[in-house]
Amino acid sequence: MSSAVLSLAAIVLYLLAAGVLALDARAGGGTRPTVSGMHVVITAAAVLIHGIVLYQAMLTPQGLNVSVFITASLVGWMVALFALIANIARPMYMLLLGLLPLAAISLALEWLFGRGHAVTGQMPRGVDLHIALSLVAYSLLMIAAFQAVLIAVADRQLRRKRPIRIMRVLPPLATMEVLLFQLLNVGLFLLTLGLLSGFMFVDNLFAQHLVHKTVLSMLAWLVFAVLIWGRYLRGWRGRTAVRYTLAGFLLLAVGFFGSEVVLQLILKRV
């Protein structure tokens, strides 16, 4: 089956899964919906097909194709996979409702614009570990950033004392903050391993084409580390946690995708 057909099927399934979740929430009259078996099956099918598309696109005889749109699609796939796994253990309705369409968009961008090649060739030993750790950390911190947005919405509505209907679907604010810091703890740990593996296995992380990515990733690490320090020693939460999370993720996103867009789409370099 062609990659175009598979991509379209996965996109439809992602959007269908989000639609089923929205309908479940609406049918519950504003109460928190339960995780239906149908939703899990549809989402799992979308993730599986998306993974097959990525496998076909990334593996080439010359090496890994890491073009910016394929990498974005890979992050979207990881985010959907992690959210699905986490949702089975702890329902995260609004997270899934926002993240599944993002996964569909990332796959659509790969389908439409991901024909270009940025092949790595034969990578030095250990670089593949650095890339894998960095991508997993980025995906988890992206979920944390989306969770921070939901916390900001909930906090604003509580301060106004006029909660909108969406507040009945969201978990309690304290529960959302616990999940946020769980994501941040794991994400920071993996980001630390990613940076350390980069210094160990990449020849020169401060080379001209890597310096922006390295510096911004280190600044992002510092922001997340300060936030976690402030959480456990000074009890930071609420708006402070949201601001630090979004600032750290913005640095990480600009460092990774910003540099890749300039190198691959503007300068035509890998």
Q: What is the pTM of this model?
A: 0.85
pLDDT > 60? residue 50: yes
d(CA 159, CA 184): 25
Read off the pLDDT of residues 88-117 as tens digits, 9 standing for 90 and up: 766 677 788 888 999 999 999 888 876 555
pLDDT > 60? residue 52: yes
Read off the pLDDT of residues 168-193 as tens digits, 9 standing for 90 and up: 667 778 888 998 999 999 999 999 99
Tell me what pLDDT residue 161 has: 64
What average pLDDT does the segment 228-237 reach?
92
What average pLDDT does the segment 224-231 reach?
96
pLDDT category of residue 76 using cuts at 50, 70 and 90: very high
pLDDT > 80? residue 118: no
pLDDT > 80? residue 270: no
d(CA 253, CA 134): 12
Residues 6+ apart with CB under 8 A from 71: 135, 257, 260
Instruction: Look up residue 28 and give its two tokens.
Output: 């519950």
What average pLDDT does the segment 220-247 reach?
94
d(CA 156, CA 152): 6
